[in-house]
Structure 1
Amino acid sequence: MATTSSSFLVPSASPPSSALLRRFFRPSLLPSKILHRLPPVLNSSSRTEVSVDKSEADKLVDKIDFGELCNEFECTSSPQVESTARQLARDILEIRESNRAFACYAVSVKFKDPVRSFTGREKYKRPMWITTGLESPTVTIQEMVMLSTSVLRIRWTVKGKPKSILAAVSGDLVIKVKSDFTLNQISGQVIEHEESWDSSSSSPFAQAYFWTSRRLFAASESAKDLADATKEITATFTARKEDTEIYRDPTDPTKYFQRDDSFERDFYQVALFLAIVYFVVQFLRNTL
């Protein structure tokens, strides 16, 4: 009996999915725009990771525990507090003066240090003692910590050569600064700024230069404050005098009269005198 053999057609094994993808999506046949839109799995062999370098200020802020800003019932602070902390650290590290982020400060911010105090963020636009008293100063930040949900403390150190004939014998001046910023919990703006200094790491000559030059700098700034206050009072008095010097008679539009403003004039003169006395006292207190 003859045997017959029958053959069965067995389908060949299907190519792996990666082979199908490569066969279907041939790079030479696809436009460049479509290639860029393909999922990462199609080009996994050439995928690279992009690392973003963080600034020193960002690294410091990342270590800060801002506490629980919000819970299920209320918010005790806002994300603006963290944003302000980052910006303040950048301004300190880069010794920014006129190009600092003034929006971080409230319009009526209060500043205080051992020899000077003022109110108003406009005064932050003036030159700093660091750049006027030191040659090529450098700044490093040692610590940033939230004392509460609204108080930020930054400890930093400034180092440089004194701009004086004492520079050759005094060596580098090293000042350790502690800055406390009280922030508005809603807007994140600084409403109070207080600083304290420690110059014990410097030589006696450098310390003497620091305190002497710092007091002279404060006296110079107080003189500028006096000049600005005098200009404001004078401008206000002049504008008010022009507005109120001549009046029209309400009963007869053709008649005009001049009001006796001697009381107001005396009031402004007394206010100007008191302002001058105040700033002179502040000047003497800072210099003596």
Structure 2
Amino acid sequence: MTAATASALPIVSLNPPIAAVSLRSGTNHITLSTQRRRLCLVQVANDSKATEVSPDRVIEKSEADKIVDGMDFGELCNEFECISSPSVKATARQLVRDILELRDGNRALGIYAVSVKYKDPVRSFTGREKYKRPLWSIDALDKPNVSVQDMVMLSTSVLNIKWTLKGNPKNPIASVGGPVIVKVNSHFTLNQISGQVIEHEETWDLSSSSTIAQAYFWASRRLFSTIESAKDFSDSLKNVSSSLSTEKENVDFYPDPSGDPRKFFQTEDDFQRDAIQIALFVALLYFLVQFLRTTL
């Protein structure tokens, strides 16, 4: 074998397996295996980098989740008994999410009990169906925004959220006084088992608003409350009328006292007519009292 042939062997043996090269030269074998190992390490490093980036894009907590995760709910259960339930935490998470998003007529009604009681300085009502109605802030303020300052469990069934509502009045005259800034203190009483809200009370602090902004707030809020009370009155009339109609259907005819199932008697309508008139008068009187209480 000539020297020229021997020098050409490593170039020809690059394509065959490394084992064939190792028969020719141990040095070449070591060099090739090191290069291949480096290639493999680079490929693995790229794969690991790809898997590290993707979770960061997917796992992003909302502001509501961050607030709730930072809360201390206390010890819901110990080794002997459970004094509350995880549903309380789920309700708290949804409540703060609804406040932050300020969703108009799209609140999570399931977190409220059917007979939930609501109260603020100018209005009170019972029933979660009324939470479907539009919010005052959407009608009265231009692009309102919300921030949550504090959220704490006062006990295993009492949640307190402090938040601020800010927005410019939609009325051009009132907008001269600057934005309406309302510091709201929302007090929720929860059912410890189901986690549903059974009582909801709010208090307001407008000390950060100007005199004009405060006047606009109270005037628009009382007007809003009066309109909502009128809706309550209308709903009450519908419920009374519906219940009386159902009762009338049940008592218009009654069986023959003699026992013959083929005979029925029809009752007089005078009593039903009087009952309807009395109900309407009482409802009208109730509405008048509520209107005077909110305006005076």
Answer yes or no: is the 8 Å Cα contact 1:105–1:191 preserved in 2. Answer: yes
1:185-208, Cα deviation, whole Å (9 max, x unpaired): 000000000000111111100000
Correspondence for 2:245: 238
**C-alpha displacement of 1:238:** 1.6
1:58-83, Cα deviation, whole Å (9 max, x unpaired): 11111111001000111111000000
Correspondence for 2:236: 229
1:199-255, Cα deviation, whole Å (9 max, x unpaired): 111110000000011011101100110010011101111221122112231522343
Correspondence for 1:4: none
* The one of 188, 192, 197 aligned to 1:185: 192
- Unaligned 5+ residue runs, structure 1? 1-18, 27-39
Letter aligned with residue 253 of structure 1: P
Answer yes or no: is the 8 Å Cα contact 2:105–2:135 preserved in 1. Answer: no
Letter aligned with residue 68 of structure 1: E
Q: CA separation in 2, counterparts of 1:86 and 1:175?
A: 22
Answer yes or no: is the 8 Å Cα contact 1:57–1:90 preserved in 2. Answer: yes
Secondary structure of the residue aligned to 1:149 is coil
Dislocated runs of 4+, deviation >6 Å = none
Answer yes or no: is the 8 Å Cα contact 2:104–2:138 preserved in 1. Answer: no
Letter aligned with residue 193 of structure 2: I
How many residues are aligned here? 254
Answer yes or no: is the 8 Å Cα contact 2:148–2:162 preserved in 1. Answer: yes
Q: 1:45 to 1:154 in 2, by over 3 A?
A: closer
Q: CA separation in 2, counterparts of 1:44 and 1:201?
A: 52
Correspondence for 1:108: 115
Q: Write the mapping of 1:111-190 to structure 2, written as runs, cut at 5 A.
A: 111-190=118-197
**C-alpha displacement of 1:264:** 5.7
* TM-score with structure 2 setting the length: 0.79
Correspondence for 1:285: 293
Secondary structure of the residue aligned to 2:52 is coil
Q: CA separation in 1, counterparts of 2:176 and 2:229?
A: 31
Secondary structure of the residue aligned to 2:118 is strand
* TM-score with structure 1 setting the length: 0.81
1:48 partnered with 2:29 = no
Correspondence for 1:35: none
Q: Which has the larger displacement, 221-230 or 264-273? A: 264-273
Correspondence for 1:94: 101
Answer yes or no: is the 8 Å Cα contact 1:107–1:121 preserved in 2. Answer: yes
1:93-129, Cα deviation, whole Å (9 max, x unpaired): 1111322111010000000000000000000000110
Instruction: Judging by fraction of residues, say which structure has more helix.
Output: 2
Q: CA separation in 1, counterparts of 2:50 and 2:255?
A: 85
Which one has a bigger Cα radius of gyration?
Answer: 2
Q: 1:46 to 1:254 in 2, by over 3 A?
A: closer
- Unaligned 5+ residue runs, structure 2? 1-32
Q: CA separation in 2, counterparts of 1:100 and 1:263?
A: 43
Give me the identity figure in percent: 62
